Amino acid sequence: MAGMPFACAMGNNGGKKKSLGIALVGLGSYSTYQLAPALQDTQYCHLAGIVTGTPEKEKVWATKYAIPEKNIYNYDNFDEIFQNADIDIIYVVLPNSMHAEFSIRAAKAGKHVICEKPMAVSVEECDAIINACKEAKVKLGIGYRLHSEPYTQEIKRFVKEKTFGEINYVTADAAYMSKRNPDQWRLNKKLSGGGALMNMGVYSIQSLIYGSGENPIRVTAQEYSTRPDYFKETDETITAQFEFPSGVVGNMMTSHNANANRLFASCERGWFELQPANNYGPLKGRTSNGIIEFPHESQQKLQMDDFASHILNGTPNLAPGTMGKRDMMIVQAIYRSIKEGSTPVILDLKSMGLD
Ligand code: NAD
């Protein structure tokens, strides 16, 4: 990569375009069933290219989405994408342990980056991605679609405007039952970096933070294992308690061995709840004042449009790299607490901001 011409002028000069070209890296289930369909309806970006390690997928995608051959890459020739002016944003949708490598290669090619959640498998990798994007002067967003989603935005508004007074307690569950495939990459520690916590747990962490409006200062965690034959290398169920600077207490659960999807906050003058809180929607919201309801739109469409608009129009980056790094710091603190026998772990996230 050394000496590669900086490609800013060729591919990512979004200011002149009305819609930015996105290349999806990794054509698995999320790209196939959520991102590519959503990109047919986006306003500020469109599906312009693909990067795949599976040659059979090239023709299928090229035909279905009219992708020209020059915009189709594999993992080996991916770096040549720096020359391709059709591609402005690279969206990394690979197993977690591959996020850092491909996000960094994308930044070095002068392209803006969306990196799926969890951002990476360690805080060091998050730093490496953030630094690569800074150096290349490209934007970085994490695939935290819920920040673009109206029910979640309403919860953030309740918290900010103290609609129900001060928050006293917040709880969040994000879990699903995994039964059928013990060989999937999500249960392979080398590829996933961890189990339920890395996969669904980041949603519980996010919910506790936007449900309280604060970053935690201390976490204490427990791990439960009931099916060690299936979950050979990765965590099955984790619970954790968060303490926040104002005194708010939070409680989270994540699991690959239960179905749960909820955010609930108890406040001075009532309560609010999302259930489901983090699936593809429509989410459902209730408060002590009644039901909340919004029209449904693809969360992925909203998320990718928000990121493209950030590049084109300077609107806020709703899920920046620092947010992904902060969550990885919390993930690591949770794993450390468990390793140390459920000892509280102190976190210093003051410099991380809330976004
Ligand atoms: P998937 O298993 O369906 O797809 C993974 C893709 O990576 C496949 O195309 C596969 O060919 C490719 N790949 C390359 N090297 C691989 C390897 N060594 N092992 C396995 N696959 C390999 O996974 P997915 O559900 O599409 O998830 C991809 C990423 O997207 C993950 O990081 C996941 O956390 C994230 N994701 C996010 C959301 C969300 O709501 N934001 C939802 C689903 C997945």
Average of per-residue pLDDT across 19-38: 98
The contacts of residue 131 (CB under 8 Å, 6+ apart) are none
Ligand 1 midpoint to CA 172 (Å): 24
Average of per-residue pLDDT across 340-353: 93
Nearest Cα residue to atom 41 of ligand 1: 143
Report which of residues 1 and 189 the model is more confident about.
189
**Whether residue 15 has pLDDT greater than 60:** no
Average of per-residue pLDDT across 101-109: 98
CA-nearest of 78, 83, 72 to 4 is 83
26 lines ligand 1 (CB under 6 A): yes
Average of per-residue pLDDT across 176-182: 96
Does the active-site annotation cover 169? no
**Whether residue 325 has pLDDT greater than 50:** yes
Q: For the segment 127-173, what is each residue's pLDDT rounded down to a tens digit?
A: 999 999 999 999 999 999 999 999 999 999 999 999 999 999 999 99
CA-nearest of 42, 329, 39, 41 to 50 is 39
CA-nearest of 208, 272, 266, 270 to 241 is 208
Question: Residue 350's pLDDT is what?
Answer: 86
Average of per-residue pLDDT across 198-210: 98
Q: How confident is the model at residue 47 (pLDDT cuts 50, 70, 90)?
A: very high
Structure token pair of residue 261: 């999807």
Nearest-atom index, ligand 1, CA of 188: 19
Q: Poorest-confidence range of 2-6, 273-277, 281-285?
A: 2-6
54 lines ligand 1 (CB under 6 A): yes
Report which of residues 72 and 5 the model is more confident about.
72
Ligand 1 midpoint to CA 191 (Å): 10
**Whether residue 75 has pLDDT greater than 80:** yes
Catalytic residue among 44, 73, 91, 117: 117
Average of per-residue pLDDT across 197-212: 98
**Whether residue 309 has pLDDT greater than 60:** yes
Ligand 1 midpoint to CA 251 (Å): 28
Question: Residue 11's pLDDT is what?
Answer: 43
Question: Residue 355's pLDDT is what?
Answer: 65
* Pure H helices in the chain: 8-11, 29-30, 36-38, 55-65, 99-108, 123-136, 150-161, 189-192, 196, 202-212, 299-313, 321-339
Supply the mean pLDDT for the chain: 95
Does the active-site annotation cover 190? no
The fraction of the chain above a pLDDT of 70, given in percent, is 95
53 lines ligand 1 (CB under 6 A): yes
Question: Residue 6's pLDDT is what?
Answer: 36
CA-nearest of 73, 68, 37 to 55 is 73
Residue showing tokens 């020359």: 83
pTM: 0.96
Nearest Cα residue to atom 7 of ligand 1: 94
Q: Ligand 1: which of 94, 101, 103, 113 to mutate, judged by most atoms within 8 Å of the beta carbon? A: 94
188 lines ligand 1 (CB under 6 A): no
Average of per-residue pLDDT across 175-183: 96
Q: How confident is the model at residue 353 (pLDDT cuts 50, 70, 90)?
A: confident
**Whether residue 282 has pLDDT greater than 60:** yes
Ligand 1 midpoint to CA 95 (Å): 5
Ligand 1 midpoint to CA 229 (Å): 23
**Whether residue 2 has pLDDT greater than 70:** no
